[in-house]
Amino acid sequence: MKSILLACLAGLAAIGSAHAADKSTALTACAPLSDAHKASTFGTQYVLIEDGDAHYRLRFRGGTCNALSLVTQIEIVGAQTQNQLCPDDTRVMTQRGNCNVSGVDLISAERYQSLRRRR
């Protein structure tokens, strides 16, 4: 009985660790993006960015960015500087329009891959 209880507790701890790995951290300062960064959409809800070992999720005011529908190119402008992410002043620009970003989250590589698979 004691070993079953310990096994259950260990399983719950592992689940808690997995959920903790999914947590994101809000960006607090501007971060430049390299020319090699990759941006992809998650429907009209998010833009996901991979830049080397860093992974970001951009959220939008109003919850969506209709300018992301059926686009092939995305330009990121933060604090009026191309290829820069800023916590308060970032815009996503596409051939269909622009959207203001409400938040930039630094996410784990695992979370990034999970979101990319679900899009």
Interval 56-103: pLDDT, tens: 999 998 899 999 998 989 999 999 999 999 999 999 999 999 999 999
Tokens standing for residue 46: 């998010």
Is residue 11 situated within a structural domain?
A: no
Structural domain contains residue 79: yes
Evaluate whether residue 87 is within a structural domain: yes
| 17 falls within a domain | no
Q: How many domains does the chain have?
A: 1
**Is residue 52 domain-resident?**
yes
Angle between helices 2-22 and 109-118 (to 10 degrees): 80
Q: Is 53 exposed, middle or buried (0-12, 13-18, 19+ CB in 10 A)?
A: exposed
pLDDT value at 2 more than 50: no
Residue 118 confidence (pLDDT): 81
99 in any annotated domain: yes
Taking the complete model, does pTM exceed 0.95, yes or no? no
Residue 7, domain member (yes or no): no
At 16 the pLDDT is 41
95 within domain boundaries: yes
Other beta carbons less than 10 A from residue 11's beta carbon: 10
Which residues constitute the domain of residue 33? 24-118
